[in-house]
Amino acid sequence: MSSTNKNDIMVSRILCLVSMALILGSFNMQQKKKIIFFGDSITEVGAKPGGYITMLQDTLVKAGKSAQFELIGAGIGGNKIYDLYFRMDSDVIAKKPDLVFIYVGINDVWHKKTYGTGSDPDKFEKFYNRIIDRIQAGGAKVVICTPTTVGEKKDFVNELDGDLNKYAEIIRTIARNKNVELIDLRKAMVSYLGTNNNANTYNGVLTLDGVHMNDKGNRFLANQFYPYIK
Amino acid sequence: MSSTNKNDIMVSRILCLVSMALILGSFNMQQKKKIIFFGDSITEVGAKPGGYITMLQDTLVKAGKSAQFELIGAGIGGNKIYDLYFRMDSDVIAKKPDLVFIYVGINDVWHKKTYGTGSDPDKFEKFYNRIIDRIQAGGAKVVICTPTTVGEKKDFVNELDGDLNKYAEIIRTIARNKNVELIDLRKAMVSYLGTNNNANTYNGVLTLDGVHMNDKGNRFLANQFYPYIK
Amino acid sequence: MSSTNKNDIMVSRILCLVSMALILGSFNMQQKKKIIFFGDSITEVGAKPGGYITMLQDTLVKAGKSAQFELIGAGIGGNKIYDLYFRMDSDVIAKKPDLVFIYVGINDVWHKKTYGTGSDPDKFEKFYNRIIDRIQAGGAKVVICTPTTVGEKKDFVNELDGDLNKYAEIIRTIARNKNVELIDLRKAMVSYLGTNNNANTYNGVLTLDGVHMNDKGNRFLANQFYPYIK
Amino acid sequence: MSSTNKNDIMVSRILCLVSMALILGSFNMQQKKKIIFFGDSITEVGAKPGGYITMLQDTLVKAGKSAQFELIGAGIGGNKIYDLYFRMDSDVIAKKPDLVFIYVGINDVWHKKTYGTGSDPDKFEKFYNRIIDRIQAGGAKVVICTPTTVGEKKDFVNELDGDLNKYAEIIRTIARNKNVELIDLRKAMVSYLGTNNNANTYNGVLTLDGVHMNDKGNRFLANQFYPYIK
């Protein structure tokens, strides 16, 4: 065999390996689903150490699935539906996600009281629908969530419970109308608190302050989201 | 017997009857319990034809008890706990009632939204306690009521349900602490609506507009109050 | 000359006149500038008999300019910046206007108090800028207005004066930043009331209720807009 | 002269001095005017080191008048007119003051926005009048103050300026109607800021945060109150 032949063989082998690497790489890249969590402060903190998105990432690692999913937090404190609408292009669609979780609504209710700038129910629904339309048009699947709590007391005696229930209903209606999957976080959390908030405290069971999650609350959220990461 | 004597006897007999009538009358007047309904627009309308206080009056007539009770409406539209506090001397205590029903709280919650001038929970409780103290010091028995509704929808999805539940809880606590009787109107009405509001409408079951009573609502209230008229 | 010839000549003359009329008509139609007034209840009423847009139309007729301009009211009661944003495509851009007046902001402030759903200042500015961008991209010129009043009292003692001044400032800043023309309605109206509201009443000078225009108020607005109709 | 006599003389002299001291002391105690500052957080902080009441005390010391006046801070953060009403007996009248400054109103306006629990203008006036009546009936002179600021910007562009102006007007009316002295703090402060807030900042001229006083602000308040300490 001539050295030329050997070289040819080596070159072809290298090319073959490179090709395989590229193929595997592109395969990998095509396989890794990009998942964006689009929301408010709970999601902003959720992407930090100890947060629910970080916990989901750890769970994926343990399950040997971390190569399949890329989780991206896109939460900003104080955000309402209008804020999500305003930044959906830059913060979500431009990143070409495969799956987007929308988890918003607490500030839409809460800011009525604290700033006088909550969201009207009809406009909440209209802008929410537009966000879903636009993200779906960008090629991603959308899963939407009901808002959790402002106060953990049982039997709906927290000041904003009525309005949170009302906006949760709006979101359930959107899910039905648009035929998108729903994670009913509020229902799940109210049910959990009904069983576990024995001292009937305003905070301290799943949240630090009635709204933002403690360790248990982040774990609770991670468990709620996990089945939808697929 | 001379006719003069006969006349004298007749006169004395008449005088005797008149005296007895006067004595019985004064006895009756002393016996007639004065009952004041102290509240907001629901009570203001309640004292008009078709209102719950007027219905109670009719019921007392039918039961042959109208001579025993005098019912007085002291409701003014838009009133909150501060308004009751401000006018308790002139509108309640000055009238020397035997029994006072206090039925307030809806505007304390509602005005947070519509004017930004609702009542702080702690001050609601403080002023409520002072009103009870003052009326009791004036010699009357006090019976207190939880606030009814702003919206008749089931499952606590009316915007203000959480806060109404919260203020109802405050009133229940006041009743326990002060050892006064409680008519839990909110509990009764929510229960009734749970069974009867089949179309889950915002209004039209017991209320005209979610707040103010229709015929059925006034009848409902009358039935709630009746056992406490004694 | 035969009658046929005469007829031919007449027909050709008629055709000629008809053609000229059609040409002039189409010329006129191409010349007629489409002007949309985009706003809230003041503008909704403004397009009705006695309203400021109707007055502007009359003024154009008297000035012999009615053939040059088509005035269209696009006001809806209760509208805030979010509502304008939501319906700008259907109600403004789809009509291919040449000039658009935007007159909004009162409800953005007022609804903070009456519903808890006013607009945050930062989002008011962001959505306002987007509306301008989109309408300009559609080929129309934009002229923007500061909000008028909620209460006509002098010396800024009306409850919402501070916030209305603040949002007027935001709009002035937008006008500078975007280099669009500004009709400073608030400044003009406050100045007028300073001189003319001698009894210092809450309403009745230019408005019916502190907000919505009476005859004088509609005339006042018409005079403010007229110089910009060109 | 015997030693006994000397001792007697000494004893009588000592007794005489002690008596004089006691007389002077009691004279002093009778003379020392008790002055209470009744208000909210600005007054609560005002009684601490660096606060306006502490500054007034220092000024009295320097002027050699500290023996004539006792200054007492009775401010509690977040207080509205209802809070002052509720605690006037325990915190003011029970201390038998000679002079009471009432400086309240900011939270009555501010809490409309931040909690939905501000004070209605009519009830603000009613309860204010009752507080004046009760304190005057307790034997003290009352001097009342207009509320200062929430935001230091010029030309009334701070969100709450209109409502603060409105409540300042209510207080001026109360002063006229009740014929009590008025310290028009708001007018003085707005005037000062008009001249001195050159950069037109929201805070940092007289306040830390638009509301609570910095060193200059406490000095400004002390200068406003000083002429009324007599």
- The DSSP result for D62-91, as a single string, is HTT-TTTEEEEEEE-TT--HHHHHHHHHHH
User: pLDDT band for position B31 (50/70/90)?
Assistant: confident
Q: What is the mean pLDDT of residues C134-151?
A: 98
Kindly report the backbone phi and psi dihedral angles of residue C148, in degrees, each rounded to the nearest multiple of 5, phi listed first: -80, -105
Q: Which chains touch D (3 or more CB pairs under 8 A)?
A: A, B, C
Mean residue pLDDT across chain B: 92
- What confidence tens digit (pLDDT) does each residue in D113-155 have? 999 999 999 999 999 999 999 999 999 999 999 999 999 999 9
The C-alpha atoms of residue C103 and residue C150 are separated, in whole angstroms, by 15
Residues 6+ apart with CB under 8 A from A19: none
3-state SS, residue B80 = coil
Taking the CA of residue C158 and the nearest CA in chain B, the distance in Å comes to 14
Lookup: tokens for C35: 């002007």
The C-alpha atoms of residue B38 and residue B95 are separated, in whole angstroms, by 12
Average pLDDT along chain A, 230 residues, taken 10 residues at a time: 58 56 48 94 98 98 96 98 98 98 98 97 98 97 98 97 98 98 98 98 98 98 97
Which helix or strand (DSSP H or E) is residue D228 part of?
none
Mean residue pLDDT across chain C: 92
Lookup: tokens for C182: 């500004």
Residue to mutate among C109, C111, C114, C163, with most B CBs inside 10 A, is C114
Is pLDDT at C187 greater than 90 in this prediction? yes
- Specify the pLDDT at position B26: 47
Kindly report the backbone phi and psi dihedral angles of residue D92, in degrees, each rounded to the nearest multiple of 5, phi listed first: -125, -65
Q: Which of B190, D169, B74, C196 is nearest to A156 (CA)?
A: B190
- What confidence tens digit (pLDDT) does each residue in C45-104 have? 999 999 999 999 999 999 999 999 999 999 999 999 999 999 999 999 999 999 999 999
CB-nearest partner of D156 from C116, C156, C159: C156
CB-nearest partner of B112 from D117, D126, D127: D117
Find, in chain D, the residue whose alpha carbon is nearest to that of B108. Answer: D117
- The answer to whether the beta carbons of residues C45 and C79 sit under 8 Å apart is no
- What confidence tens digit (pLDDT) does each residue in D174-228 have? 999 999 999 999 999 999 999 999 999 999 999 999 999 999 999 999 999 999 9
- The answer to whether the beta carbons of residues B163 and A162 sit under 8 Å apart is yes
A186 interaction partners in chain B (CB closer than 8 Å): none
B113 interaction partners in chain C (CB closer than 8 Å): 115-116
Contacts 24+ apart (CB under 8 A), A50-59: A50/A215, A50/A218, A51/A213, A51/A218, A52/A213, A52/A217, A52/A218, A52/A219, A52/A221, A52/A222, A52/A225, A53/A222, A55/A218, A55/A219, A55/A222, A56/A222, A56/A225, A56/A226, A56/A229, A59/A222, A59/A226
Going across the sheet that includes A99-103, the strands are A69-75, A33-39, A99-103, A141-145, A181-183
Mark out chain C residues that contact chain A at CB-CB < 8 A: 82-83, 86, 111-113, 115-120, 123, 126-127
A115 interaction partners in chain D (CB closer than 8 Å): 113-114
The C-alpha atoms of residue D138 and residue D92 are separated, in whole angstroms, by 9
Torsion from C-alpha of D87, D91, D96, D98, nearest 10 degrees? -90
Is pLDDT at D70 greater than 60 in this prediction? yes
Q: What percent of chain C has pLDDT over 70?
A: 87
- What confidence tens digit (pLDDT) does each residue in B149-191 have? 999 999 999 999 999 999 999 999 999 999 999 999 999 999 9
- The answer to whether the beta carbons of residues B70 and B60 sit under 8 Å apart is no
One-letter amino acid at A72 equals I
Q: Are strands B33-39 and B99-103 parallel, antiparallel or unpaired?
A: parallel
- Specify the pLDDT at position A26: 47
Q: How many helices (H) and strands (E) does chain A have?
A: 9, 5
**What was the ipTM of the complex prediction?**
0.85
Max distance between CA atoms of chain A, in angstroms, equals 88
Q: Which chains touch B (3 or more CB pairs under 8 A)?
A: A, C, D
Lookup: tokens for D141: 């002179």
pTM score, whole prediction: 0.87
Is pLDDT at D161 greater than 70 in this prediction? yes
Q: Which of C193, C194, C109, C118 is nearest to C159 (CA)?
A: C109
Residue to mutate among D109, D111, D113, D117, with most A CBs inside 10 A, is D113
Find, in chain B, the residue whose alpha carbon is nearest to that of A151. Answer: B162
Lookup: tokens for A175: 């899910």
